[in-house]
Amino acid sequence: MTGTTLDYHSDSISLRVVEALADATNTDAHELEPLYNVVDPEALDQLFQSGSTADVSVEFEYYGVLVEVRNDGTVTVDGRVHDNGGNTSHSR
């Protein structure tokens, strides 16, 4: 994917979700359907604010793709982990 660079340490969780979806679907982030058609990105960002100690996770379906966001910043798309450091691996 070209043209999109995110700083995984400072960007919002909603941007990480978009980046993970783009990676998982091999689609440019700008070509994806807007995230707000499925989930409220601002609410997602507020729920996962930096420094929050709440034990929270959210699951939702994005056009046939299962997305999970965990309180540690990990984003999982269809069982594939896209963690808060930008690494991608398979869930165990």
What pLDDT does 77 receive? Answer: 96
- The CA-atom distances, in angstroms, between 91 and each of 14, 40, 41, 70 are 20, 25, 24, 13
What pLDDT does 84 receive? Answer: 56
Averaged pLDDT, 21-32:
95
What span, in angstroms and rounded, lies between the C-alpha atoms of 50 and 33? 26
Which tens digits make up the pLDDT trace of 33-86?
999 999 999 999 988 886 667 788 999 999 999 999 998 889 999 999 986 554
What pLDDT does 83 receive? Answer: 65
What span, in angstroms and rounded, lies between the C-alpha atoms of 52 and 49? 6
Q: Supply the DSSP string of 16-79, one letter for each residue.
A: HHHHHHHHHHT--GGGSPPGGGTS-HHHHHHHT-TT-----EEEEEETTEEEEEETTS-EEETT
